[in-house]
Structure 1
Amino acid sequence: MKIETKRLILRKLEDRDAERMFLMHSNPEVMKYLETPVTSLEQSQNDIRMIQKQYEENGVGRLAVVEKESGLMIGWCGLKLLKKPINGHVETLDLGYRFIPEFWGKGYAWEAATATLEYGFNDLKAETIYAYADSGNAGSNYILTKLGFENTGEFEDDGVRYFWYQLKRENYNVENGKD
């Protein structure tokens, strides 16, 4: 599977992506609103194996985001099938993205997420795609609303407050967020 945009290639994560994944997931700024930063390359290798298993079992999973110009993996973006309940939802598609800080503020998250949503609605025929973000993560919450997601409420998990978002196929407009 491969999705191309003007500046990016989204492809399945491969074992060779472990060092770039480690660079991203070991960065405290990246992980500020997420899990504890990883401390070993082995953890990133295990994360990639887990995602590869999701491709096999669910047909979807987070994808490596590669900057065409440099050829570097700069983050990941994609749909994940929620297998355990989150905010009461299970067996639903969740949009997620994460990028190495030097690539923040360049519109890559929006570009990758837009391509992912098009894939979800057009190829997977999803009726609704969900997302959630830490209520304090202004950047992620901004991107989700710019993409056209509707904040439908809040929930708490392990003492952290999250905003819950949904985007229905009939409300999706590829023009959302274009300047």
Structure 2
Amino acid sequence: MQLDELEQDQANTGFGRYLVWLKDPSSDHSPSIPLAIRLETCQMIGGTTLKIRPASGCPIPDIGFNFYKPFWGKGYANEATTALMRYFEEERGVTEVFGFTDATNLEANKLFGRLGFEDRGVKGLKGIREGEIQCVVWAKKGMNEDLRVYGIS
């Protein structure tokens, strides 16, 4: 998919990438000021995503996060990911969400636990990258125990 396709897909579905910025506390960030001007006084620190991956065969979105290293361990990924899940639950009714991580990514695995996800083990998944990859599957609490109902075996 090209960037234009990704942007169009996000415009159509709402699912996609969301950038996270830190505001300069000494600057005016009132809504009356154009966004482009407000962003000039902010610092991008990373992002969070909520995506549906049709190629995976799973109809449930998965959430992810990626922050620049100087901002790790400061709670930004937790805050941004929690806010994105809350928005999608309240505004779109999305209550089932997965997370997929590499087993060696200890910090991401800990964060999914803090976010209230349950570790459902390592599974081979398609549609995340080219081919099949081995991932820890995290499911939001309350989701069906049988991952096959979501197309994950």
TM-score normalised per structure 2: 0.70
Distance between the aligned counterparts of 1:48 and 1:107, measured in 2?
29
2:16 is matched with 61
The unaligned stretches of length 5 or more in structure 2 are 25-40, 126-130, 144-153
What pairs up with 1:30-179 in 2 under 5 angstroms?
Answer: 49-69=4-24, 71-85=42-56, 89-157=57-125, 160-168=133-141
Residue type matched to 2:137 in 1? W
- Partner SS for 2:137: strand
- Partner SS for 1:106: coil
* More moved, 156-165 vs 137-146: 156-165
- Partner SS for 2:12: helix
- Contact between 1:135 and 1:162, CA under 8 Å: does it hold in 2? yes
Residue type matched to 1:162 in 2? C
Distance between the aligned counterparts of 1:50 and 1:72, measured in 2?
26
Shift of 1:82: 1.8
- Contact between 2:116 and 2:141, CA under 8 Å: does it hold in 1? no
Distance between the aligned counterparts of 2:116 and 2:66, measured in 1?
19
Shift of 1:68: 1.6
What RMSD, in angstroms, separates the aligned Cα atoms of the two structures? Answer: 2.3
- Partner SS for 1:84: helix
TM-score normalised per structure 1: 0.60
The unaligned stretches of length 5 or more in structure 1 are 1-45, 171-179
| 1:33-79 Cα deviation digits (max 9, x unpaired) | xxxxxxxxxxxxx9754541321232221101111236011111131
Matched pairs, number: 122
Structure ID, larger Rg:
2
Question: Equivalent pairs: percent with the same residue?
Answer: 28
Residue type matched to 2:52 in 1? L
Distance between the aligned counterparts of 1:99 and 1:90, measured in 2?
26
Residue type matched to 2:11 in 1? E
- Partner SS for 2:97: strand
Note closer, same or farther for the CA distance 1:142–1:50 as it changes in structure 2 (3 Å cut): farther
